Amino acid sequence: MLSVERLVKKGSDYYLYTPSIPAKELMLYPTVLGRFTYEPGYRVHRTHFDSFLLMFVEEGNIELSLDDTLLTARKGQLVLVDCYHEHLYGSKGGSTVLWIHFAGTMARKWYDYIKQHNGNIVTPSDGEHIRYNMNALYHRFREHKTVSEARMSGTIAFILSGMLMSDMQEQSLHRQSGIQEAVTWIGEHFAEPIQLQDMAEVAALSPYYFSRLFTKETGFTPHPYLISTRISAAKYMLSTTSDSVKEIGFKTGFTDESSFCSTFRKREGLTPSAYRNIQHSYNRNSG
């Protein structure tokens, strides 16, 4: 359908969709979507509209007023609007926008999570892929092709996921991957003498920042995590090998038998020998 809105350029079009009952109960679904070119001065002010709105700015800028806050979305950015509440947006200089009004049982949770973590305007890390998918969905409607509700739901979820994977989020994930590399490295090198600096270098972070981020991601500060890894390895060896307690202590990174036994007892509540006896007794009874 061609738009007849004031200050929407001639040729701009939109398409309505009525979802099936299963789609309403299970999926994200569009209610109306289109591509509009706004002429300078375009403005819309609503107190309520039953949907959420996704916009991808292809050209120009979009100005928004949400929760008494003025925002500007530029070319290549995604906008997410809660149209169930009062909202205002427009374009002072003109713009072209791909847009989808959508709803669904999980739509509110998506909106709240994205707004809390990344805000209403996001520069996605994979903007061209997102634009391609929005454009493909728009063209299926424009060309009157059959549209799978499951595929539409997947496309909307992909776009929303893209708002979570913003440039800043990508940087955060990169840092998290450094922590995961450090965790893997500790699992392979726990028997060696390891210092905080060694772990930080694996993650390509400063020792101070590594310690803070490591604690945030694992719930442990680095040294207690290393000790926990060593004790876990020792428990496995005590249960599955005939190596002496002293040998196991050295094989798991402790400098002497005394420090191994005291650390083990402090964490497990019994000595390594007592732990081994219990495990062997259990295995005999199980057999």
pLDDT tens digits, one per residue of 229-282: 999 999 999 999 999 999 999 999 999 999 999 999 999 999 999 999 998 776
3-state secondary structure of 149: helix
Mean pLDDT of the chain: 91
In a domain, 177, yes or no: yes
Q: Which of 122, 144, 165 finishes a domain?
A: 165
Please state, in angstroms and rounded to a whole number, the distance separating the CA atoms of residues 180 and 210. 11
Contact criterion met (CB below 8 Å) for 202 and 181? yes
Within-domain flag for 185:
yes
Burial-class residue 33 by CB neighbours within 10 Å (0-12, 13-18, 19+).
buried
Instruction: For residues 175 and 93, state if they share a domain.
Output: no
- Choosing from 120, 140, 165, the residue where a domain stops is 165
Farthest-apart Cα atoms in the chain, separation: 85
Residue 149 lies in a domain: yes
pLDDT in tens, 12-21: 999 999 999 9
Distance of CA 138 to the CA centre of its chain: 26
pLDDT tens for each residue of 135-156: 999 999 999 998 899 999 999 9
Angle at CA 278, nearest 5°, toward 274 and 284?
Answer: 140
pTM for this one?
A: 0.61
Average pLDDT over residues 207-217: 89
109 and 155 co-located in one domain? yes
Q: Are 17 and 30 in contact (CB under 8 A)?
A: yes
3 state SS of 100: strand
Q: Are residues 133 and 28 in the same domain?
A: yes
Give the chain's end-to-end CA distance (angstroms, integer): 75
Domain containing 242 equals 171-286
Shared-domain flag, residues 124 and 199 = no
- One domain for residues 138 and 189: no
Domain count, the chain: 2
Q: What integer pLDDT is reported at residue 149 of this predicted model? A: 95
d(CA 3, CA 35): 10
Percentage of the chain exceeding pLDDT 70? 94
